[in-house]
Every structure is written in C-alpha cells, then in structure tokens.
Chains A and B, each alone.
Chain A
Amino acid sequence: MSKLAPMLPRQRPYSFALLFVALAAYLPLANFLISAESAFHLSLFGVNLIGQIVCFAMLALALDFVWGLVGILSLGHGVFFGIGGYVMGFYLLNAAYSETKVLPDFMLFMGWHDFPAALRIFEHLPAALGLGIAAAVAAAGVFGLTTFRARINGVYFSIITQALTYALMLLLFNNDLGLGGNNGLTGFTSIAGYRLAEVSTQVWLATASCIALAGAYLLLRAIADSSLGHTLVAVRDDEARLRFLGYRTDRIKLFTWCLSAAVAAVAGMLYVPQVGIINPTIVSPVLSVEIAVWVAIGGRGTLIGAVLGAILVNSLKFWLSAKAPSVWPFILAGITLLITLFLSNGLWSGATLLLRARKTSS
C-alpha cells in the first residue's frame, strides 16, 4: 500500500446509508405488496439472496475498517463471522429444541441424551446476541493484545490470521468437541417465536440485515471522519512515527480490531438464519481471503467501496455459479488481477478520482 495515497475526499455519509434503508423498505413491499407477475416483485428466493449478500457486505465493511483505514490486513475475518454465526446457531438450536423436543442430529449421533447445559446459556435471543458479540470481541482482544504488542504486522500478521482460521476450521470439523462437526448446526425451526420457513420471517430478516448494514456504515463512517479516524489513517501510513510521537498505537489497533470483530459477528448472526445452516467451511481460509478480495475490488479505505465490492462480487457469483459454474473462477481471477494490477485502490476509488478529474477539468 503506497504510503502516499491521497486522503480521499469527504463523502456525504448519510446518502449512502439512506440507500440501504430504502432497500430495507423496498424488500417487504416487493414481496408482500407487489404482485408476483410484476418485474419488480421479489420472490422468497430473491429476498433471501439479497439478505445474504447484505450480510457479506457488512463483513466486507468490517474488514475494510481495519484494512483500509488502519492498514491491518486480516485474512482471518471469517473467524469472527463464524463466531457470530455459531452463537446464533446455538440460539436457534435451543429454539428448535424447545419447540420440537428433539435433539439436533449431531447430538443424536454423538450419543448424547440431553441438551447440553453449556448451550443453554444461549437460550434467549438478547443473551445470544450479546454473547455472540462478546465472544468475537474477546477472541479478537486476546489475539490482538499479544500480536499488536509484539508489533507483528504486514505480511506476517496476515499469514498468522490465515493459520488461525485454518486451526479453528479444523477444530470445528472435529465432532468430539460437540459443536456439530462436519454436519454443522442444522434443523433450525424458528427465531424469536417466528417460524423460519415463513416468507415473512425471511423478509424481515433481510430487512434487518439492510438496516444493520446502514447502521454499521454510519458508525464506522462517523469514527473515520472524527479525529480518531485521522489517527487511524496515521497508523496506517506511518506507525513508527506515530509511536514516537507518544501514541499508544497498539491500543488504537486493538480498539479498531475489536470493533471490526463485533461488526463481523453481527453480520454472521444475521447470516445464519437466512441460510438455515452453519458449518465449519464458513471459517475456511479460502473464504477469509475472498473477503479481502471483495474489499480490494470494491475499493479499500473508502467503506463504500468495500460494500459495493462485496455486493458486486457476490451477485456475480450467485448468478454465474448457477448459469456457468466452470467460468466463474476465471472471471473472479480476472477481475482480481485487473484490479490489483491497474486499479490498486479499487473500483470505487477509481470512479471517484475519475469523477473528480472530470469536475476539475470542466
């Protein structure tokens, strides 16, 4: 990352967030009110798809916050997404068990007779939400504390995050730990009393995801525009200098790292009820690298770019995986290569610069 990257022009944060609030309003309309024959109708499948993509966008947002603004490339953000997802999964298992009194599959084949007490703490939705965020922040904190203090950054940091996500994936695959193993957590029936199979529940989940994205964006944008935000950029550009000036850069990095983990965890928590299953592949090293790719394609450091990159890549992926599955990896590879070689700051930054150039020239 070039140290002399220009400070990007101040964007108007509210309009972008409003966009997702608008989308959030559109979704229930599109599904409930607009009739099925119209081109503007969204079926359950469409709504569900949008909801999942929005969760990924939130995840990309979280990564861009630490990467674009602070310069920490994490190739293991899947860990926090996964922690949030699994905690939500535990809550949903509790809900399913309360309703059906049948143990989840993985407990049955492990030979357990009762619902484990340890999972009972996730019985209520607010508790689960809080614990999910807390768990992600705690994991981030432990890791960040030791790593940032030891001043590991750059490439080594990225490799270590990959290794950790790989280790977590291996651990989760192991059935003996009682976390579902390869089977994952399945058999979800309802959330907060609403049946997951109902179209309305899915629509409201997707709407919630949009609103959460808007909220996260506003929060992170506010921080980025504040004086703390300037410090963050300073950490990215020249950490040593900042340290010599007396700033506790490791604490600053730790704070952003934990905040990013929290946002990623929330994204995970919204993702799982919409997909209906969670399994260790969510913390696979490959997915974590893909998150970085979304951010890189969209535009690193701009927050908006990360969201757009995630939406663009995932939409393409869902569309092409269905129509031409053997072509998708080449297209993704091609886009990534083009961006890294020619538009290293991503599509959004490129577009903004272009616009600014046109403005100044006219």
Chain B
Amino acid sequence: MTGFWYRCVWAAVSIWIGAAAASAAPLTPPQRLALMQDFCAGGAAQRTAIDRLVSVGVADDHDWSARVMTALRNGGFVCRQSGSPVIIGSGVALDASTLQPVGEAPAELPYVPSIVMMRALAVASAELDLFSPKTETRRAAAAQVDRKFAALNPALVERALANEHDADIKRTLSVALAKRGLNSELPAERLKAIAAVAQVPSETSRTLLTNFLADHKDTLDPASVRATQAALRTIDEWLLIGKVCSVLFSGLSYAGILLCAALGLSIVFGLLGVINLAHGEFIMIGAYTTFVVERLMQAHLPGMFNAYIFVAIPVAFVVCAICGMLLEVCVIRFLYRRPLETLLATWAVSIALIKLVQITFGSQNVEFITPAFLNGGMQMFAGFFITWNRIFAIVLALGIFATAYGLIRHTRFGLLIRATTQRRDTARSLGVPAERIDRLAFGLGAGLAGLAGVVLTQITSVNPSMGTSFVVDAFMVVVLGGAGSLVGTAVSSLALGEINQVIEPLYGAVAAKVAVLVLIVLIIQRRPQGLFALKTRV
C-alpha cells in the first residue's frame, strides 16, 4: 500500500535531514546540477532526488528548492539533453542551477508529472513550505500536512513546530502529529489520536477509524475500542446532518434559479394573460449581455474585471426590458385577449431570436471567466460543502425577489400594475393608462428574465438554446404558484426545487424531473388556479 511506501520514503528523508543539518551553506551550482540531473534521469532516482530537494530546502537552500519545486509542479521544469535544466516561470527562462536568465526558451517540452509523482510533489512541497518565510504559505502547508498526516515525516514536522511562532499553525501541526498517534503503542496516545481524528468529522476520518478498528481488532484494549466506536457514532451523526444540509442547500440553489426564471413570467402571465414562449430567450439574452459586458470590461477596464457581474445586472435588466417592450409594441399589443395566438407568435419570435444569437455569437458554449470571489467553496462541516457561485445565485435570487416584491407592493407603478390586473376597466375609467402599464409591465417581466440569465451564467453553460430548457420549468412554477402572485412563485419554486433535489440522489435526475412534472399536473387538477391564486383577468 502506498501509505507504507510513503513511510519508507519519509524515513529516508529524516536520515537525509540529519545529514543535511550538518551542512548549513547553500548548494553550489554544480551540486544543484547533480541533484537535478539525478531527477531528470528518471526511474527510482527521481524519488530520491525529490527527497534530497526537500532536505536541502529545509536545511539551507530554501529559496532555490522552493523555486525548483514550484516549477516541477507547474509544468515549468524542462530537462535538457545537454546542459543544465531550465525553469520557466511567467515567460522568463532561467537556468535551474544558477537561476540566471538563459537566452531563449529550450526546444524540449517541460516535465509532465504522473499522478503518483504529483502526489509526491504535493507532499514534498508542503513539507518544504513549512519552512517558508511567508506565514500564508506555511499555513496552507500546515493544512496540507494535516490532511495527509498519515504520510508525514514526524521529525520534519516537529522541527517545523519548534521553529513556528504562529499559534494557529502550531495547533494544526500538533493535531496532525497527534493523529499519527493512532498507530502508537501507548494507549494514552492512541486515545488522543482518536479524539483528534474525530474532532473534524468527515468521510475520510470515518474511513480511517473504520480501517483502524478492522486492522487492530484483536490487539486493541477495550478503552480504545469504545473510544473508536463512540467517535464513529459521532462522525456518523455529523455526516447525516451534513447530508441533509447538502440536500437543502442544493434545493435552495435550484429554487433560486427557478425563482429568477419564473418571476418575470408570473408578472406577465398574471397581469397580461400572455403566454410568452420567448421568455426563455429573454433569459438567454440576459446571459449573452453579461458575456458582452464581461468582454468589454476585460478589454477596457481590466482592473475592475471581477466586478463585471455587478455591472452586468443593471445592463442586462435594461437590455432585456427594452427587448420586451419592443416585443410588446410590435407583436403582443395586437394579440391581447387572444392567448393562443400570443403563444404562437411568441414561439415564432423565440426561434428567430435563437437563430439570431446563433449567427451573431456562434452556437458554441460561451466561455465565462468566473470572478475570483466566486471560485471554489467552503467545507462547512462533515459532508456539507457549499460553493460560492451557488451562494451568490441564492443571494441574488432573494435580492431580485425582494426588489420585485417591493416594486409591486409599495410603489405607485406596482399599484397601477395590480389595479390593471384585477380590474382593468375600472382602472381605465379612473384614468390609468392601461396600454402603457401593459408595456412597462411586459418590460419589467422581460428585465427580470434577463436578471435570471445573469445569475445562470455562473452555474450552467450558456449557448443559444439554453432558454428552451427553462421555459417549461418556469411555466410549471408559475402555474403551480398561481399566476400573478409573487409569493406563490417563491413558495412553489422553493417547493419544487427541494422536491427535485430530494428525489435526485435517490432515483436520478430524470426521475426527479418527471416526478415533479407529474406532481404539478395532479395538483393542478385539484386546484386549477394554483396555490396562491390572484383574481386576474385570465
């Protein structure tokens, strides 16, 4: 097993450290060259060369070792057939022994590590970084060492601990060392180790303790066995909580997307009784507007690039609102009180829009560079990992909903929309310009769809036909929630999102979708006007 192999290697390293500790001066270029040529020779010598690199870096020549290590991991290390290897970093080629620039980039291709070598390099790099002058690097290295505690070299880590003055890092390293105590002879150390492992419940720690129990079941003392079983129970509880939270979180993020997509539709359908099959295309236009904004900002405002998504929000809203109003003026206006014609007309517009976008931007997926603050995620606790882009989608969805709700409920414009929806003729006789309200409301609905497009750029792939998959879902949400009711849309998207994500891990994505659709159809049979029906003119 690789764990055993690692222990051998690091035993070798500690011997080297002992030897290297004797010398305290940086290596000379010929010594460096010898080390690297051993590496370039390949085979078993490669691994010992890595060990020596670490020991050299720990003992004296830290800067050089770190640079070589980084180059090795980043595909910037070029072994040459004759002469010194070359390190390439940020376009500059340096001689690896002297760290002086060489004239031109070498013809050979850089060293590509295999997966096993990548792992070895990762651990070696972490060990090296424990001695880096920068606190951040050491912190990251300590976390890495903690994760791979089974493979760490205790002598090295203890030496790092001795040199360390940051409290957090010291703690991480101590915990990592403690975890190694699992295989210790002393019961006290073992108990400490079990407690240390159980402190951060996860699937890995569960596996570790299960293996530990299985491997040593004949030789362990009862106290250790009880402690391990108790630890396993705690871990399992946490894992269950983690799983439930994960499902709720995924459901929430899916619900957020549905909400964004359906909100505009709800207003338009509720108010105007218009089935807009081009709604999905407004979502798509919003996404492409974001793309254009991203490209423009990349070209002209690179400093503020990461904020492009915030710039895209108002821009997409305005662009889609204008498109919506154009559609209303040119087509929908003539088709009121004829919902079936509107349906066909908007369908025609949608296929034309898709083709137009295809011709302008191509039918490929559009590449978005995720803003830096939306990358990655955070492990909350056992089995529950949240990604920033989905948090952002949820927050944005809530924001959009709150704004729309506030608009409809608390502004004059919203009041006029509600009046025209509920009692059109009375409103008109009171002087409300119903046609203009219709136009503006349609624009609002389209603008909200555009915002949905902005949110989606960070989660799904963007291409001209992305809208078609959202139309059916959005309509289902609206139909279930009740046309025209914002709260209804919110509730139904939440319900549908959660139900979908609960079924999905059990029966698969298709079953989840089909089940949701069938469920809606059944509910509609019982309550055709939706859950939160408004009196509308439909």
Contact = CB atoms under 8 A, between A and B. Distances in A.
Interface of A: 1-2, 73, 75, 146-147, 150-152, 154-156, 158-160, 162-164, 166-167, 170-171, 173-174, 285-286, 289, 292-293, 296, 326, 329-330, 332-334, 336-337, 340-341, 344
A152 B518 CA distance: 16
From B352, B359, B468, B508, residue with most partner A Cβ within 10 Å: B352
B97 to A, nearest CB: 56
Contacts of B472: 162-163, 166, 285
Contact of A341 (B345, B517, B520, B538): B345
Contacts of A292: 344
B518 A167 contact: yes
Given A166-B472, A171-B510, 20 more contacts: A1-B338, A73-B340, A150-B525, A155-B339, A155-B343, A155-B538, A156-B479, A156-B524, A158-B343, A159-B479, A163-B476, A164-B521, A167-B513, A167-B514, A170-B514, A174-B510, A293-B348, A329-B355, A332-B348, A344-B338
Contacts of A162: 472, 475
17 contacts: A73-B340, A147-B525, A150-B525, A154-B339, A155-B343, A156-B528, A158-B343, A160-B479, A163-B521, A164-B521, A170-B514, A174-B508, A289-B347, A296-B344, A332-B351, A333-B348, A336-B348
Interface of B: 273, 275, 277, 331, 334-335, 338-341, 343-345, 347-349, 351-352, 354-355, 358-359, 468, 472, 475-476, 479, 508, 510, 513-514, 517-518, 520-521, 524-526, 528, 538
A289 B277 contact: yes
A239 to B, nearest CB: 15
Nearest to B529: A156
B349 A333 contact: yes
B514 A158 contact: no
A76 B525 CA distance: 17
A160 B524 contact: yes
A151 B517 contact: no
B335 A333 contact: no
Nearest to A289: B347
Contacts of A73: 340, 343
A334 B355 CA distance: 13
Contact of A333 (B343, B352, B520): B352
Nearest to B521: A160
Interface SS, B side: helix
A330 B349 CA distance: 9
A90 to B, nearest CB: 21
Overall SS of chain A's interface: helix
B510 A340 contact: no
B510 A173 contact: yes
A184 to B, nearest CB: 16
A334 B351 CA distance: 10
A340 B526 contact: no
Contacts of B345: 336-337, 340-341
A285 B334 CA distance: 26
Given A150-B526, A286-B468, A336-B347, A330 B355 contact: yes
B528 A336 contact: no
Given A154-B339, A159-B479, A340 B344 contact: yes
A105 B160 CA distance: 62
Contacts of A163: 472, 475-476, 517, 520-521
Contacts of A152: 524-525, 528
B475 A341 contact: no
Contacts of A155: 273, 275, 339-340, 343, 538
Contacts of A334: 348, 352
Nearest to B342: A340
B518 A1 contact: no
Contacts of B334: 341
Contacts of A174: 508, 510
B340 A1 contact: yes
A190 to B, nearest CB: 33
Nearest to A292: B344
Top 5 nearest A-B pairs by Cβ distance? A336-B348, A333-B352, A329-B355, A333-B348, A167-B517
Contact of B344 (A2, A156, A164, A336): A336
Contacts of A330: 352, 355
A85 B36 CA distance: 68
Nearest to A165: B472
Contact of B517 (A164, A173, A337, A344): A164
A170 B469 CA distance: 12
A2 to B, nearest CB: 8
Contact of B331 (A147, A150, A166, A341): A341
Contacts of A326: 355, 358-359
A146 B525 contact: yes
Nearest to A290: B347
B250 to A, nearest CB: 19
B272 to A, nearest CB: 12
A150 B526 CA distance: 7
Contacts of B510: 170-171, 173-174
A152 to B, nearest CB: 5
Contacts of A2: 338
A201 to B, nearest CB: 35
Nearest to A326: B359
Contacts of B525: 146-147, 150, 152
B281 to A, nearest CB: 12
Contacts of A332: 348, 351
A87 B204 CA distance: 50
A341 B508 CA distance: 43
A158 B521 CA distance: 12
Contacts of B517: 163-164, 166-167
A134 B103 CA distance: 81
A159 B354 contact: no
A147 B528 CA distance: 10
Contacts of B338: 1-2, 344
Nearest to B538: A155
A336 B355 CA distance: 15
Contacts of B344: 289, 292-293, 296, 336, 340
Contacts of A333: 348-349, 351-352
Contacts of A150: 524-526, 528
Contact of B354 (A167, A296, A329): A329
A197 to B, nearest CB: 34
A75 B277 CA distance: 12
Contacts of A336: 344-345, 347-348
A340 B341 contact: yes
